[in-house]
Structure 1
Amino acid sequence: MPKPTKGARLGGGPAHERLLLANLAASVIEHKSIRTTETKAKRVRPLVERLITKAKRGDLHARRQVLSTLGGSAKSKEIAYILFEQVAPLVAEREGGYTRITKVGNRKGDNAPMAVIELVLEPVQPKAKKAAPAKAEAPKAEEPAEVVEEAPVEETAETPAAETEVVEEAAEAPAEDEAK
């Protein structure tokens, strides 16, 4: 005996739920974003994610699996074409998380919580590495750290031209030491 899915069946039996989710998934793929109840958005998200993962494979078997999930109508073939030719190349670099659910408040008539489910088609931004604490950034034993010694600059109350002469003399001093 097949095990039923957990939770409510969205107002009908298993066949009705399958059809409802297939239609919602087709709408998400076709329009890139739809507004529906939170419950329906949460239930259709895994289905859309699986369909996009199959579309990223791009082979004939994956196309047939997507068509069997969406149904055999002409509209389903158009949706499959959009999925394989337009959506899959945009999310090729993304490893998951192809959809986003945003809560938008309650519906006016029956106060049902509403949400927008949309495809995430933006390019993937590589994550920046977290900055390690200063203690962990110590140089490795294999790579000697360069030590740059700077001569102390003496403070004088003379004109700015005199200050540049002091700095120039300090810069020449280490060069003379290296020559010896």
Structure 2
Amino acid sequence: MKKNIFGKQLSRDKNERTALFKGLMSSLVLNESIKTTEAKAKAIKAEIDKLVTKARKEKELAKRLLGKKLTPLAIEKMIDSVAPRFKERKGGYTRIIRLGKRFGDDAQVVMLEWTEKAQIIEPVEVKKKTTKGKKEKEIKRPVRKVNKKTSRLRSSKK
């Protein structure tokens, strides 16, 4: 009988489990949402919430603390864009939405996503000012330069 087992084992040893969690959490940070099984989503939900709380603190401290759990690209995005989104919120940064059963093995598939979506800022188009009166002339240039001496010689030979 196994006693005092903390967390989900997911039929993996410690190294495999930490690699799986690191990949899932990094994908969530980089892609804003992931589709996975319900057991895996429940296993990383608490971990990712703790990481967001750590990322809201000092930047240098957060980089060191997040280094074990996320990839370098995910750390930068977490500190720069994800953590500032949740400044006012005290917890519950992620949500799990059930999508149905997977066809192959009938496993419950869910989508794990952030509760607050990223705001997409669209670039504003800058209109160019046109001046009246002055029009640019198109300069037509030959595609190939022809030497006059050689062209006369060629035409006279024919």
Q: Same fold per TM (> 0.5)?
A: yes
Contact 1:55/1:88 (<8 A) preserved: yes
- Number of residues paired by the alignment? 115
More moved, 59-68 vs 114-123: 114-123
2:95 to 100, 106, 109: 100
Q: Secondary structure at the match of 2:10?
A: coil
Residue 85 of structure 2: aligned partner: 90
Against the structure 1 CA distance between its residues 39 and 58, is the aligned structure 2 distance closer, same or farther, given a 3 Å change threshold?
Answer: same
Per-residue Cα deviation, 1:133-156 (whole angstroms, up to 9, x for no partner): xxxxxxxxxxxxxxxxxxxxxxxx
Distance in 1, matches of 2:95 and 2:15, equals 26
AA partner of residue 93 (structure 2):
Y
| Structure 1 residue 69 displacement after superposition | 2.0
CA RMSD, 1 decimal: 1.6
Contact 1:58/1:84 (<8 A) preserved: no
AA partner of residue 85 (structure 1):
D
Could you tell me the TM-score, scaled by structure 2's length? 0.68
Larger radius of gyration: 1
The answer to whether the aligner puts 1:63 opposite 2:58 as a matched pair is no
Residue 104 of structure 2: aligned partner: 109
| Structure 1 residue 20 displacement after superposition | 0.6
2:115 to 117, 120, 132: 120
The answer to whether the aligner puts 1:36 opposite 2:44 as a matched pair is no
After TM superposition, the runs of 4+ consecutive aligned structure 1 residues lying more than 3 A away are none
Residue 164 of structure 1: aligned partner: none
Residue 5 of structure 1: aligned partner: 6
| Structure 1 residue 4 displacement after superposition | 4.2
Q: Percent identity?
A: 31
Contact 2:86/2:93 (<8 A) preserved: yes
Which has the bigger relative contact order, CA under 8 A and spacing at least 6?
A: 2
